[in-house]
């Protein structure tokens, strides 16, 4: 199935329902204009331009606290590690480190960014189904806390690296074995990771073999197991089944239960709350795992998605073939989730969120991007009041994977990232320039 249907909402939403998709604390002025983190969108557009990715800093910190405090209250000595592929931005790494979260990385670039942001290397978990020797060397030299064993080649490379380390015999590197539990949640095929046939991890018989090898190693220290079954999962039951699967492999000091909780992108989405998710995971851990074991979780999408809002300006409005096309100055260059996964996003005219005096629901529109591709659609079937060129369009719940997947299609410049809090805004990533597009060219 797709992450979410691209079909239109059955009825136009109320303004309050629309606000429910924006970061908690988002308000509107008397004239209907949005305020993100207390900042009016008109001022944000004037100062930072469009398109832009806005992040409500207070909402992100609050979400991190709900995860960290909630897990600690349920399972002492647990750790929340941000699945940073969802938003690998130095300022986000820094903010979440300040909130006491660890980080999981899925490549050398993410590792470099996390360390540059001041993340404690001991709180870094290294992932990847195809870890190069240079990536593993950088992780070992940085002193990362855990490296996740995804295959037998990981064991060979790590043992070789540890054997070649200069000077006195180095400490044994802590590792986890990634288990493929043969659990398939109800989500898009591209983001399922725990089923038989996945490129990630080891099925139970292979995991047992890896465990035996690691227990016999003098250079690698087997701390425990890792499991992750996918992303944008809207039910807790598959997570519980994954815990039961890894419990079959024995008793270990550490169990990393991964992430994957879904975000609420549309009016119809009903993901479990952070608290319900933590209740389900820790109840399963209490029942099935050793009492003293350390539990780690790796939220990504559900941690950062709702704090982000993409802001665009309408370039043209075209009524053709029975449809109203509202074309904006961004698109699949800054939000690839729609063409890639079929993810649905809602949208609003950012300066006219409150219902008009006549109560009219607005016009049913297709919000499209500026890229030379028919699949460049941001949101289909949304109701917008009298859309016209120059309007600002706000798309909520874009804090996860939009920045990660941003690209230069049609040589577009990737947009800035702007943190908003208490009525003040600050860019943390600048907009690309045309010079940036040519910076790597050779004569």
CB under 8 Å to 130, separation ≥6 — which residues? none
Residue 441: Cβ within 10 Å count:
6
Q: Could you give the residue numbers annotated as active site?
A: 372
Residues comprising the chain, all counted: 443
Tell me the three-class secondary structure of the chain, residue by residue. CCCCCCCCCCCCCCHHHHHCCCCCCCEECCCCCEEECCEEHHHHHHHHCCCEEEEEHHHHHHHHHHHHHHHHHHCCCCEEEEEHHHCCCHHHHHHHHHCCCEEEECCHHHHHHHHHCCCCHHHEEECCCCCCHHHHHHHHHHCCCEEEECCHHHHHHHHHHHHHCCCCCCCCEEEEEEECCCCCCCCCHHHECCCCCCCCCECHHHHHHHHHHHHCCCCEEEEEEEECCECCECCCHHHHHHHHHHHCCCCCCEEECCCCECCCCCCCCCCCCHHHHHHHHHHHHHHHCCCCCEEEECCCHHHHHHHEEEEEEEEEEEEECCEEEEEECCCCCCCCHHHHHCCCCCCEECCCCCCCCCCCCCEEEEEECCCCCCCCEEEEEEEECCCCCCCEEEEECCCCCHHHHCCCHHHCCCCCEEEEECCEEEEEECCCCHHHHHCCCCC
**Contact, 78 vs 72, CB < 8 A?**
yes
Measured CA to CA, the distance from residue 253 to residue 290 in angstroms comes to 8
Residue 189: Cβ within 10 Å count:
11
Question: How far is residue 220 CA from its own chain's centroid?
Answer: 30
């Amino acid at each position: 199935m797709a992450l979410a249907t691209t079909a239109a909402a059955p009825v136009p939403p109320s303004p309050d329902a629309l606000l429910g998709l924006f970061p908690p604390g988002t308000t509107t002025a008397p004239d209907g204009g949005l305020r993100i983190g207390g900042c009016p969108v008109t001022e944000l557009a004037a100062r930072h331009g469009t398109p832009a990715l806005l992040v409500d800093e207070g909402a992100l910190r609050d979400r991190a606290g709900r995860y960290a405090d909630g897990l600690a209250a349920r399972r002492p000595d647990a750790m929340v590690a941000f699945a940073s592929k969802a938003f690998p931005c130095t300022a986000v790494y820094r903010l979440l480190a300040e909130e006491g979260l660890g980080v999981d990385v899925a490549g050398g670039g993410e590792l470099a960014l996390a360390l540059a942001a001041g993340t404690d290397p001991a709180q870094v978990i290294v992932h990847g189904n195809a870890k190069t020797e240079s990536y593993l060397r950088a992780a070992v030299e940085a002193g990362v806390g855990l490296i996740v064993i995804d295959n037998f080649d990981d064991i060979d490379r790590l043992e070789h690296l540890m054997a070649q380390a200069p000077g006195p015999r180095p400490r044994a590197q802590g590792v986890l074995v990634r288990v493929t539990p043969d659990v398939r949640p109800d989500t898009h095929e591209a983001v399922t990771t725990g089923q038989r046939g996945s490129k990630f991890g080891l099925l139970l018989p292979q995991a047992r073999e890896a465990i035996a090898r690691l227990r016999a190693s003098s250079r690698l220290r087997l701390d425990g197991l890792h499991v992750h079954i996918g992303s944008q999962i809207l039910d807790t039951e598959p997570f519980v089944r994954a815990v039961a699967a890894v419990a079959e492999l024995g008793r270990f000091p550490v169990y990393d239960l991964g992430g994957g909780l879904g975000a609420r992108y549309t009016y119809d989405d009903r993901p479990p709350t952070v608290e319900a998710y933590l209740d389900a995971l820790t109840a399963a851990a209490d029942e099935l795992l050793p009492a003293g074991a350390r539990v780690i979780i790796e939220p990504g999408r559900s941690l950062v998605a709702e704090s982000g809002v993409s802001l665009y300006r309408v370039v043209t409005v075209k009524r053709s073939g029975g449809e109203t096309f509202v074309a904006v100055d961004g698109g699949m260059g800054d939000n690839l989730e729609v063409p890639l996964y079929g993810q649905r996003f809602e949208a609003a005219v950012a300066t006219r969120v409150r219902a008009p005096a006549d109560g009219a629901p607005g016009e049913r529109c297709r919000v499209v991007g500026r890229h030379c591709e028919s699949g460049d659609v941001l949101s289909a079937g949304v109701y917008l009041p009298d859309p016209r060129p120059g309007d600002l369009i706000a798309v909520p719940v874009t804090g996860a994977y939009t920045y990660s997947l941003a690209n230069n299609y049609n040589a577009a410049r990737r947009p800035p990232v702007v943190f908003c809090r208490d009525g003040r805004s600050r860019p943390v990533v600048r907009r690309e320039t045309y010079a940036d597009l040519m910076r790597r060219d050779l004569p």
